[in-house]
Amino acid sequence: MILGDRDLKYYIKTGRILIEPFDDEIVRENGVDLRLSKEIAKLKMASTPVDTRAKNLDPNDYYEIVYGDSFIINPGERVLLNTMEYIKLPDDIMAFVNLRSTYARLGILSPPTIVDAGFEGNITIEIVGGSFPIKLHAGDRFMHLIFARLLTPVEKPYIGDYQGQKGVRLPKMFKSP
């Protein structure tokens, strides 16, 4: 069952869903809009392959962490965006991550992503720039989460590598910058 605005307000008010910082304006008809943080990671062009089984790779070879109040996303550029909100889900609620339609209409692409039941942390997603440069601003609502209540709580709530992440989180094979 998809949670509507009344359900979401109740779940947030009672603490079943945690969103910090919270603002009533982010609750929409059938989901919650999350805002862009002041930190992003730009993927660099590199010729050295990333071994997905490696540990503690140097992120500086593959990523540029950028801090600011605004960011230019160039055509075809791949970027990891991060939410300013820290969320925490119970073991019977998951969420679908969608790029807000305004950004999709600008040609920005984002792969399908979900937030597992039991997850907590800032959310990091990848986007790919469209046909022309776009300036994004920290604090803008860029991501839409659609929450779904599961029929029963999951047996194994999320406890993976990204649990509790704060800030832009690179793939697990990279040491923290």
Distance separating alpha carbons of residues 85 and 89, to the nearest angstrom? 13
Provide Rg for the chain, Cα atoms: 17
- HSE-CB of 25 using CA atoms within 13 angstroms: 5
How many helices (DSSP H) and strands (DSSP E) are in the chain? 2, 12
Out of 64, 85, 126, 155, pick the active-site residue.
126
64 is catalytic: no
| 27-28 vs 18-20, strand pairing mode | unpaired
Q: Verify cis geometry, omega within 30 degrees of 0, for the bond prior to 59.
A: no
Residues taking part in catalysis = 126
